Amino acid sequence: GAEVVVKIRRPNIVDEVNRDLEILRELAVLLTRYWPGVQYQDLIGLVDEFAASMRDEMDYLTEARNTERMREIFGAHPSVIVPEVFWEATSTRILTTERMTGLKISDIAALDDAGLDRHEVAVTATDALCKMIFEDGF
């Protein structure tokens, strides 16, 4: 069978994170109310946006859908490879994807040892990021 990576959400983490996010929001409300200058910033909105992002991060179905979208975006790209999601073993709490090996872009010695052109790696990574953001809105 295929080698896979299984990501499992810790038990009770959703409740713990939600409690922390509630505390963070209460602090934002207090800071906005009592600290001069903070009311000119949308601190509460920032915390709310951060909270929504954190909640999305804890839903592995969202991560799986995003991975699939990236596979569609880069499907024909010869240098950007996105792991396959194994949907039959994926849920809100569990994400199962194809195991992939490679080099960290920050490991200069490994890139050099592999004979990769650092400039080309940087250009490919930058192009991929810009494509996702500016062309695909992702």
Confidence of residue 39 (pLDDT cuts 50, 70, 90): confident
Q: How many residues does the chain have?
A: 138
Question: pLDDT tens for residues 75-120?
Answer: 888 889 999 999 999 999 999 999 999 899 899 999 999 999 999 9
Q: Average of pLDDT values for 18-29?
A: 96
Average pLDDT value for the chain: 93
Confidence of residue 20 (pLDDT cuts 50, 70, 90): very high
CB distance 89 to 60 below 8 Å: no
Confidence of residue 54 (pLDDT cuts 50, 70, 90): very high
**pTM across the whole model:** 0.78
Please state, in angstroms and rounded to a whole number, the distance separating the CA atoms of residues 58 and 60.
Answer: 6
